[in-house]
Amino acid sequence: MINVGARRSRRLGRGGVGRLASLAAVTTAGALLLSACGGGSDSGGTSKSLTFWISTVPGQDAGWKKMVAQYKKEAGVDIKLVNIPYDGYTTKLHNAAQANSLPDVAAVPALDPIWSNKLLDLKSIADKKSNNINPNFLAKDSSGKVLAIPSDVTASGMYINKSLFEKAGVEYPTSPDKTWTWDEFIKAANTVREKTDAKYSLTFDQSPSRLRAMVYEKGGKYVHADDSGKFSVDAATKKAVNTFVGWNDDKTMPKSVWTSGADPSAMFQSGDVVAYWSGVWQVASFSDSIKKFEWASVPTPAQPVQASDVNAGGLVVGFNNNGDAAKAATTFLSWLYEPAHYKVLCETSGFLPVESGLNPVYPFKSEAAQAAFKLYNESIPLYAPISGYFNNAQTEWVLKGKSLTEDPTKTELGKAINGQQSTDKALQNIVDSYNQQVGG
């Protein structure tokens, strides 16, 4: 069984800012060291032997193991796969950069200024038409160099208690081509709640990522920077967030999730909640844990924008070590992202692909889980480019030596839901914090 939830728990960056927290201490000295390191070096492997660093939970390395074994068989290149405990991974990469002993290839949770100028340009792979790599989720620098390609992507999405919908006789969409608006969804969920005596219409992760997704779908940009790097919120964002705060009325949504950290997933799994706004990482868990009712993943609402908040599950990079190793690393990554090979990786490790048109087949026993992954794979290519804004913004901040070490969204909106401040005041406080941490 694919354990996407377990993989998520060990990786940072699932729609939040945690994966950048470790970069907060990066200083000017680190930037100076970058300049000293320069481009290529004598470190690294050879044309027939490379080192590939990853960090993932047991079982989630199955896809990587399969691909390096297949590559050795096809190309005769021995790739040493090193699975490093997550807690020490960023430090190990940092130290390797300082010692000029970086691996040839790595799957990393985030970029780091200390080694970002040691990366190979993967533009030729990203731009290859047959690969169909979604350009919205690439990590690029200001010159257009492709620093990293996601190993996989994650996205926010909606789950419903299918049994309650059927009991109430309320229909719901099953295709992203014919989705509902948020107004239509809330009306349907409220109707189901009233007809079935469910406790709440919706639970909603206490997550800036989930809020961003909803705001995008309502036509807003959430906290967004202009060309000068100054953050603000637009009128559509203010309207969407005011609507969200209003949903927290202990009928449509429980106040306790955003004000005191109650567990929205547990509430949904209890069977007393009509729907749950979360993300793809819930699929594997639900396929095992939900037994008392039928559940389903349904298309994300669009009002009017078809969008989500999409993040990289991991970033695949190549390091510019000696010439033979750099060339061999580029050749391997080019092979890896060929659709036939990348599809196998996604199927084996339970990844949502960054490439479109693959139609991976996952070994889930649950029909609901199979349908959920199918829906996510159909939906992501339809999402507007803003879906990747925050993911790309984090890359830009890292390259400037900055990080959003604490997103104030949860705290400030919790106060608004509690009636301690207005929604507009909460948004202003969030904007001010963004400008202080990563503005300019």
CA gap 248, 242 in Å, rounded: 10
Query: DSSP letter at 319?
Result: B
CA distance 374 to 368: 10
The model's pLDDT over 286-309, given as tens digits with 9 standing for 90+, comes to 988 999 999 999 999 999 999 999
Burial of 214 (0-12, 13-18, 19+ CB in 10 A): buried
Enumerate residues 6+ apart whose C-beta is below 8 A from 430: 223, 233, 407, 408, 409, 412
pTM of the model: 0.83
Is 305:219 a contact under the CB 8 Å cutoff?
yes
List the one residue out of 328, 290, 333, 305 whose CA is nearest residue 124: 333
Q: What is the pLDDT of residue 284?
A: 83
Using alpha carbons, list the distances in angstroms from residue 51 to 80, 101, 191, 305, 329: 5, 11, 56, 43, 9
Residues sharing a CB contact under 8 Å with residue 376, sequence separation 6 or more, in sequence order: 155, 157, 280, 297, 352
pLDDT of residue 255: 98
Tell me, what DSSP letter sits at residue 365? S
Q: What is each CA distance from 389 to 242, 291, 420, in whole angstroms?
A: 22, 37, 30
- Residue holding tokens 């604490």? 406
- Residue 199's DSSP bridge partners are none
User: Which residue ranges of the chain lie beneath pLDDT 50?
Assistant: 1-41
pLDDT of residue 30: 37
Q: Determine the pLDDT at residue 113.
A: 85
Residue 135's H or E segment, with its range, is none
Nearest residue to 102 (alpha-carbon basis) of 425, 288, 258, 329: 329
pLDDT at 248: 98
Predicted local confidence at residue 35, as pLDDT: 33
**What is the C-alpha to C-alpha distance for residues 61 and 83, in angstroms, rounded to an integer?**
8
